[in-house]
Copies of this chain bind each other. A is one copy, B any other.
Amino acid sequence: MKEQQSIFTAISDPHRRVILRLLKQGELSVSELAKHFDFSGATLSHHLSVLKSAALVRVRKDKQKRIYTLNTSVVEELLLVVNQLFK
């Protein structure tokens, strides 16, 4: 898997890890996610695009909103990779 680096880059930022934890509890729109952060919507959009590039999250449209969800299969893959890093 050649995009391994993109996953490690994605989880290296603390704000993105918070996003992942929030999505772990259920899907959220961008504006719902925004309530949890101080930075601008543009920055949030940037973080989401990094997570999307790593395929850690998926997005779908619902009217004007874009709903983000955890991509559990890639998450499982990450857990495997990290475990194999050491075990």
A37 at the interface (CB under 8 A from B): no
In the complex, what residues of B have CB within 8 A of residue A75's CB?
86
In the complex, what residues of B have CB within 8 A of residue A78's CB?
82, 86
Can you sample 20 A-B contacts with CB below 8 Å? A5-B14, A8-B12, A8-B14, A8-B17, A9-B12, A11-B12, A11-B82, A17-B85, A20-B85, A20-B86, A21-B85, A24-B85, A70-B86, A75-B86, A78-B86, A79-B82, A79-B83, A79-B86, A79-B87, A82-B82
User: Which chain A residues have a beta carbon within 8 Å of chain B's beta carbons?
Assistant: 5, 8-9, 11-12, 14, 17, 20-21, 24, 70, 75, 78-79, 82-83, 85-87
